[in-house]
Amino acid sequence: MRPSSSSAGWSPPPTAHPSNSPNPATRVPGSCSTSNSPKACAESGACRPGGRHPEGEPEGETALAVVETPLVETVLGPVAADELGDVDAHEHVFLRTPVNPGDEFLDTDKAADELLRVAASGIRTVVDLTPVGLGRRPGQLAEVSRTSGVHVVAATGFHRSAHYPAAHWARHADDATLLDVLLDDLQVGMDRYDWDFPRPLPSPHRAGIIKLGASYHRIDRHEERWFAAGAAAARDTGVAVAVHTEVGTAAHAALDLLDRHGIPAGRVLLAHTDRNPDPELHLDLIARGAHLVYDTIGRIKYRPDSVVLDLIERMAEAGELGRICLGTDVGRKSSLSAYGGGPGMDVLGRDFVPRLRRRLGDEAVETVLRHAPQGLLAKETCAA
């Protein structure tokens, strides 16, 4: 139950709004709000991680190229990309979804315990790709990040439509509202109650990536609208876009749709591509500029981890290891060690990374755990 306006530490926002649609808070300007589209800036070379767009300089002054340290937004604030350390590029710290009834995990102490295990395995950053409406808990995310010492990059966005019941507001909200929700999460702070009404209440913890979802072999009409909102938010803020591909399908369709909305493939992370372990497909997606995250590490019911090692080796032989990220995508309570399950969120650093190091060496490990994800996560801004 939501607290009433008389509850300690809580007060309603200054603007009233209908109870059946969100009323996001006032937000700050985006990082690329010029007449040139961010896609055009990126293609011209004007946009890059760090820097400033040439337009918007005071009239009469000489515009100077400013190359700033590339930053990544974490729940505890901006962090230099090269300070993220080894990155698990797809996780869920808290999650509740009707797709997996009874397998939700929302306990803060257990989340902290799980992240402490992750830290002990050598991973220093997790990218929490839980989108709007699926149990995000921004205040608790910040708490477990502090407790564990693990950076957490949180997501906003919308998953594939199966995760939202027919009456969910995201299926019925207008396009402007969908975009406002995402921009508020990215620029003001994620809603304390994950946009569960009647009143929005921003937290001080901002999202740092956009998560979208596609259905099996297709993108349905709801997902198309969510892709449009996500792309618009990415254009305004410079953050990357992660896309759930169901069993690794519809990846080209997702890139096509995002491209039509002005997001180049180089700013896209395609999740679950290892569920469809087709190296030719993967190289085709990489040729378009996309990053892939092999994120079912330790999920032996899908295939042995040796298949993922083979895929990574194939990408290395093709000279494309810089487009590969890794994760475990623990999406069920029964998969978490803190709840008595397995393989645990730490399986990536604990078991898989040593195998990868033995097969391909330290440089390969550093590429997929550091260089590839750090570069993708860095906010893209515009520079002269």
DSSP helix/strand/coil, 153: strand
92 belongs to an annotated ligand binding site: yes
Kindly state the average pLDDT of the residues 145-162.
98
DSSP helix/strand/coil, 263: coil
Q: Is 32 a residue whose pLDDT tops 80?
A: no
Lowest average pLDDT, out of 65-74, 215-224, 349-358, goes to 65-74
pLDDT band at 92 (very low <50, low <70, confident <90, very high): very high
pTM: 0.85
Q: Is 10 a residue whose pLDDT tops 70?
A: no
Nearest to 114 by CA among 339, 348, 353: 339
The superfamily CATH assigns to domain 38-57+66-382 is Metal-dependent hydrolases (3.20.20.140)
What DSSP state is assigned to residue 346? Answer: T
211 belongs to an annotated ligand binding site: yes
pLDDT band at 16 (very low <50, low <70, confident <90, very high): very low
Nearest to 326 by CA among 83, 90, 74: 90
Cα–Cα dist 372/366, whole Å: 9
What are the distances in angstroms from CA 338 to CA 306, 321, 334, 345?
A: 26, 32, 9, 9
Nearest to 211 by CA among 249, 172, 258: 258
Domain ranges of the chain: 38-57+66-382
pLDDT band at 74 (very low <50, low <70, confident <90, very high): very high
What DSSP state is assigned to residue 367? Answer: I
Q: Do you know the residue count of the chain? A: 384
Q: At what angle do helices 305-317 and 353-360 cross, to 10 degrees?
A: 40
Nearest to 287 by CA among 253, 320, 239: 320
Q: Is 302 a residue whose pLDDT tops 80?
A: yes
- The percent of residues above 90 in pLDDT, for the chain, comes to 79
Instruction: Output the pLDDT for position 51.
Output: 40
206-251, pLDDT tens digit by residue? Answer: 999 999 999 999 999 999 999 999 999 999 999 999 999 999 999 9
DSSP labels for 45-99?
A: T-EEES---STTPPTTSPP----PPPEEEETTEEEEGGGS-SEEEEE-SSB--TT
Cα–Cα dist 117/341, whole Å: 13
329 belongs to an annotated ligand binding site: yes
Given the DSSP bridges, would you call strands 151-158 and 209-213 parallel, antiparallel or unpaired?
A: parallel
**Burial of 86 (C-beta count, 10 Å sphere; 0-12/13-18/19+):** buried
Q: At what angle do helices 108-120 and 138-148 cross, to 10 degrees?
A: 40
Tell me the CB-side half-sphere exposure of residue 354, using CA atoms within 13 A.
6
Instruction: Output the pLDDT for position 41.
Output: 53
Given the DSSP bridges, would you call strands 47-49 and 380-382 parallel, antiparallel or unpaired?
A: antiparallel
pLDDT band at 382 (very low <50, low <70, confident <90, very high): low
Q: What is the mean pLDDT of the chain?
A: 86
53 belongs to an annotated ligand binding site: no
DSSP helix/strand/coil, 225: helix
Nearest to 271 by CA among 298, 247, 255, 287: 247
